[in-house]
Amino acid sequence: MLYTIGHGKLPMDTLLRRLQASGVRTVLDVRSQPHSSRSPQFSRAELEAELIANGIGYRWLGEHLGGKALGPDRPAPIDDADLLSAGITEAVALARGATSALLCAELDPAHCHRETVLADRFEAEGFALVHILEDGSTEPHQSTLGL
């Protein structure tokens, strides 16, 4: 099982409750740029500290699995086959060790690379993906593999 979740402008305690309710033990942060001026509690250092204080591990994987360009002359990591493959390999190893969630900023997985790019790749690795939605409910990923 591998969850996905977006933080949007949620309060930190809401995000933590949703992760804990799903049994998530490790957050795999797939944001290319893990900082937020609108929601500074979700900047990398602050988020990592809160997660660890609440018994949840944290790993930033945005350099391999991020959906946005890392700079003016650098494409999004998910557009580089080698970076994407390395990121999937690392994330799979982590997710096999503990119930994990891919985290990005976008609340709606339909508008995020968690669903549009990453989910099918993780399903191909044997994971069942479940999206934690904005209202806290969950929804199984609808695979597009083979279509």
Q: How confident is the model at residue 76 (pLDDT cuts 50, 70, 90)?
A: very high
Please report, rounded to a whole number, the percentage of residues in the chain having pLDDT higher than 70.
97
Query: Distance between CA atoms of 63 and 44, rounded to whole angstroms?
Result: 13
**In this predicted model, what pLDDT tens digit does every residue of 79-117 receive, in sequence order?**
999 999 999 999 999 999 999 999 999 999 999 999 999
Q: How confident is the model at residue 23 (pLDDT cuts 50, 70, 90)?
A: very high
* CATH for the stretch 2-138: 3.40.1010
Going from the C-alpha of 15 to that of each of 3, 18, 49, 85, 122, the distances in angstroms are 13, 5, 14, 28, 22
pTM to 2 decimals? 0.93
Q: How confident is the model at residue 144 (pLDDT cuts 50, 70, 90)?
A: low
Helix (H), strand (E) at residue 56 = none
Average pLDDT value for the chain: 93
- Does 145 have pLDDT greater than 60? no
**In this predicted model, what pLDDT tens digit does every residue of 42-72 receive, in sequence order?**
999 999 999 999 999 999 999 999 999 887 8
Better-scored residue on pLDDT, 55 or 73: 55
Query: Distance between CA atoms of 143 and 147, rounded to whole angstroms?
Result: 9
124: phi then psi, degrees, rounded to nearest 5: -65, -20
Residue ranges covered by each domain of the chain: 2-138
Query: Distance between CA atoms of 114 and 137, rounded to whole angstroms?
Result: 17
Query: Distance between CA atoms of 19 and 29, rounded to whole angstroms?
Result: 13
